[in-house]
Amino acid sequence: MDPLFDRINVRDLLSGHDLSDPSTPLSTPDLRLIISRLESHSLHIKSKVRSYLLSHREDFASLFSQCNDAVFKTSEISDNVSGILSLISDRPIDVEIRKLVDEIGRTTKEAREKREMLGLLKIIVGICERLEGARSAFSDGRLRFAAEEVKELKKALRIGDEEEGEPIVYGLLRKQWADLFDEMQDLFSKFMENAVRFEQDSRTIRVKYKLCVDKMDGIELHTVMEAMDVAGILDYSLAKAADLIIKHAITPAVSYGSPAMFAEDVNQGSEGISEAVLKILPSQDCKIVDVDGDAIYARVIQVIKFIFKHICFENGSWIRSFGRLTWPRISDIIISKFLSKVVPEDASKLVDFQNIVKCTSEFEFSLKEMMFLSASDGKDYRLSSFSENVEVHFAFRKKTEVLGKARNLLLQCDFSVPQDYTSKGPLLKNDGMAINSSNQVVDLIFSSERCVVSKAASQLMELVHQTLQDVCLSSARVAWEFYHAVRDAILLYEAVIPVKLERQLDGINQVAILMYNDCLFLSQEILGLAFEYRTDFPDSIKEHAVFADMAPRFHLMAEEILQRQIQIIIFNLREVIDGADGFQNTHQMQQFESAKFSIDQAVFILEKVHIIWEPLLRPSTYKRSMCMVLESVFSRITKDILLLDDLAAEETLQLQRLIHMMLDNLSSLLKSLISAFDSNEKSEEDTSRPIDDLIPSLRKIRKLGELLDMPLKSITSAWESGELMSCGFTILELKDFIRAIFADSTLRKECIWRIENVSLY
C-alpha cells in the first residue's frame, strides 16, 4: 500500500513539456492533460485498495471481532460497578464501622481517665495522710521529722509554682499545707520566745536549753534550731530574739560615752547545761569616751560570741543566718552611735582617725572568722568601708557646711553701705587718709584702688580663704572636695544674687553699684587664688586646681551690670529731655518753664547718680561712666538746639540762660570728675586727659552758649581760626545755626561764603 500514498509529481504528468521556467503559464491543453492523467491515477489507486482488502479479509474480520468483545466487557464492568455503588448506597457500612471505632475510643479514654483518677486519688490520700502525720509529729514533739515532711510536701504540692486549670483539690491541699506551715512558724516562734528572754529587773538575757511549749516539755533548743533550719524558717523564727538582743545588748554596747559592760554565766544541771545568762552591767564611769573603738568592738564581739555558742551552738550555717538577719541593723547602729560621732572636725586630725580604721577592720575580720559575716560578700564590710572613707564623709560634711554658709550669707545680705563709711575722697591704697575700718572696703589685688563691696562678697571671700587654707592642710581626697566646695561657693553668687536683686537692678540705686563692685572684686580675687595657694596644695591637685576660668565670668557680669545701669540712666535722661519739646519757642514763658523743668529734672537725676556713684565706684570707673552719661545729655541738648531753624533774639538769650543754668547746677559734679582725674593719674586707665577730651560735647555746649549772643563776624572769625571745629561743630551745623539766628543779608552771605571757603581750603 505504500506506493499508493507516494506524492504525485505534476512534472511527471507533463513530462513532454518544458517546465523549467516556473513563470511559464500552463495552457488549456496542458490542464486538460493533467486532469485526465489524475483521473487515471485515481482509478488505479482504488483498484489497488480493493485488491488489498480482499487479500486480507480474515485479518480485518478478526480485528473487528476483538473490538466487539472489548466493548462488551466494558459494558459488563460498568454494570458491575453500578451494582456495587447501589449496594453501598443502600447499606452504609462505613458509618457503622466509624461508630464502632468511636465507641472503642470512648471506652478506652474512660478507662484511662479512671486509672488516672485512681492514681490521683492515691496521691491526694497520701498527701492528706502526710499532712496529718506532720501535724501529729508536731504535737508529739518530733519536730525535725515534721519539718522535713513540710519541706517535702512543699515540693510535692508545687507551692509557688501553681498552674491554671489544676484540680480544685490541689488548691485545698495547698491551703491545708499553708495552715500547717503557719502553725509550724507560730510554734517555733513560741519556742524561741521561751528560749531567749530578757529580764528587765535584773537586766539579763537568759537562754534556756530545755523548752516547754503547748504541753510539749523537755524539747531541746538544739532540736528546735535543727528543725527550723530544715524547714528554712531560721530567719523568721529568730527575728524576735534578734530584736531583743540588738535592743538590750548591742545598742548599749556601742553607746558612745556611756557604754554597758557584760558578764556571762552558765547553769549546769544533771544532764548538762540547762541555761546560759548574759548580764548587762552599767558602766561605772559614765564619762568614758572610747575614741579608739577597741572597747566598743570588744563588747560587741562578746555579745556575738555568746549568741554563737549558746544559741547557734557553734554551727556556721546558723550563725551566718543570724548575721544576715542582724548585721545591717548592727552596722547602722555602730555607724550612727559611734563612727559618725568620732569623724574629725578638723582636717589636721584625720591622721589620728587611722587607729579607728585599723580596729574596725580587725573587728570585721573577727566576725568573719566566726562566720557571722560572709567571706565573699563585700557588702557585709560596711564599717570598714565607712571608716576607710571617713575622709570623704568629712569632706562631704565640710563641703555641705561651706555651701550652706555661702548660701545663707548671700540670701541674708541686704546690700547696704556701712554706716561708718565716709565718702570724702577716693578710696586709694596708702594715700595718707584714714583708712575706713569696715571689712566692706576692700583692696583690689590688681589695682591701686579700693572699693566698697557688700557684706555678701566680703564674707564669701573670707569663707573661700578659710577653706583654701584647709585644702593646704588636707589629704588629696579631702583637698579635692574642698577645692570643689570653693568653686561651688563662688559660683553661688552668680546663681543667687542676680535672681535675688533682679527688680532692684532695673532702677537707679546703690545695690547695682555694690553688685558691680562685688563682681569686680570677686574676679580679681579669683585670679589671685592660684598665686596665693597653689604652691601649698597637695601635689595630686596642683595641676588640676583651676580658678582663672571663673574670673572672666564675674568680670563680664560686672561690666554687664554697669552698662545696664548706665543705659537705664541714659534712658531716663532722654525721657526727661524729651519733655523740653526740642527747646522750641523758649521766648514764650510756658515753653521756657517746660524746658527749664526738663533741665532741672535732668540735673536732679545726674546729681542722684553722682551721690550714689562717687562714694562707691573706683575713681577711674566713676570718671569713665559719668563721662559717658554726661556726654549723652550734653550731646542731646546741643543737637536739639542746633536743629532749631528760626530763633528770635529773645529766644537765643533764653537758650543761653538754660545752658548756663544747667552747667552751674552741675558744677559740683564736674568738679568731682576733675578731682577723680587728679587723684588717679597713675591709674591703669588713661585718666589724665582733660575733662573736655573725655566729654567732647561739654566743650561744644559751652561754646554754643557763647555763640547764642555772639556777633556774626565773631562767629565767622572763630570758625576761620579753627576754634569751632575743635569744639566739635561741623560746617553744616554752623551754616544752619547762622541762618536760624541772623536774617538774610549781604553780610550773612559773605560770612557763609567765607566759612565754606575756609572749610574747602
Could you read off the pLDDT of 614-630 as tens digits, one per residue? Answer: 988 888 899 999 999 99
Q: Residue 673 corresponds to which cell in the numbers above? A: 570728675
DSSP H helical ranges for 263-389: 294-310, 316-337, 354-369, 382-388
Residue 459: what residue type? Q
Residue 128 near residue 157 (C-beta atoms within 8 A): no
* Cα gap 400→415, rounded to integer Å: 25
The dihedral formed by the CA atoms of 35, 39, 44 and 50, expressed in degrees to the nearest 10 = 150
Q: What is the pLDDT of residue 90?
A: 59
Q: What is the DSSP letter of 26?
A: P
Q: Residue 633 corresponds to which cell in the numbers above? A: 545729655
- Examine domains 396-418+439-560 and 561-678+689-757 and report if their fold is the same: yes
Q: What is the pLDDT of residue 14?
A: 61
Phi/psi region, residue 583 (left: phi>0; alpha: psi -120 to 50; beta: rest), is left
Q: What is the pLDDT of residue 424?
A: 45
Q: What is the DSSP letter of 373?
A: S
Residue 729 near residue 699 (C-beta atoms within 8 A): no
Q: Residue 389 corresponds to which cell in the numbers above? A: 572613707
Residue 538: what residue type? P
Q: What is the DSSP letter of 684?
A: S
Q: Residue 95 corresponds to which cell in the numbers above? A: 458509618
CB atoms under 10 Å from CB of 394, counted, come to 23
Where in the chain are the domains? 45-90, 97-161+168-176, 193-374, 396-418+439-560, 561-678+689-757
Residue 261 bridge partners (DSSP):
281
Residue 244 near residue 251 (C-beta atoms within 8 A): no
Question: Collapsing DSSP states into helix, strand and coil, what is residue 291?
Answer: coil
Q: Are strands 272-281 and 450-452 parallel, antiparallel or unpaired?
A: unpaired
Q: How far is CA 262 from CA 266, 299, 420, 521, in A?
A: 14, 7, 66, 62
pTM: 0.58
Residue 488 near residue 530 (C-beta atoms within 8 A): no
3-state helix, strand, coil in the chain (%, to 5): 70, 5, 25
Torsion sign over Cα 557, 563, 564, 566: positive
Q: Name the fold adopted by 396-418+439-560.
A: Tetracycline Repressor; domain 2 (1.10.357)
Q: Residue 713 corresponds to which cell in the numbers above? A: 563776624
Residue 653 near residue 484 (C-beta atoms within 8 A): no
Question: Collapsing DSSP states into helix, strand and coil, what is residue 16?
Answer: coil
Q: Write out residues in the chain with pLDDT < 70, as ranges.
A: 1-26, 85, 87-95, 160, 162-167, 256-258, 283-292, 347-351, 419-438, 676-689, 759-761
Question: 261-296: string of b/e by CB count within 10 Å (b at 16+)?
Answer: ebeeeeeeeeeeeeebbbbbeeeeeeeeebeebeeb
Closest CA to 330 of 363, 358, 359, 355: 363
* Cα gap 547→182, rounded to integer Å: 67
Q: How far is CA 230 from CA 233, 326, 582, 645, in A?
A: 8, 21, 105, 114
Question: 219-232: string of b/e by CB count within 10 Å (b at 16+)?
Answer: bbbebbbbbbbbbe
Give the Cα-Cα-Cα angle 580, 696, 723 (nearest 5 degrees). 105
Q: Residue 602 corresponds to which cell in the numbers above? A: 535732668
Closest CA to 411 of 473, 454, 348: 454
Q: What is the pLDDT of residue 611?
A: 92
Phi/psi region, residue 250 (left: phi>0; alpha: psi -120 to 50; beta: rest), is alpha
Residue 698 near residue 722 (C-beta atoms within 8 A): no
Domain 561-678+689-757 has CATH 1.10.357.150: yes
Q: What is the pLDDT of residue 554?
A: 93
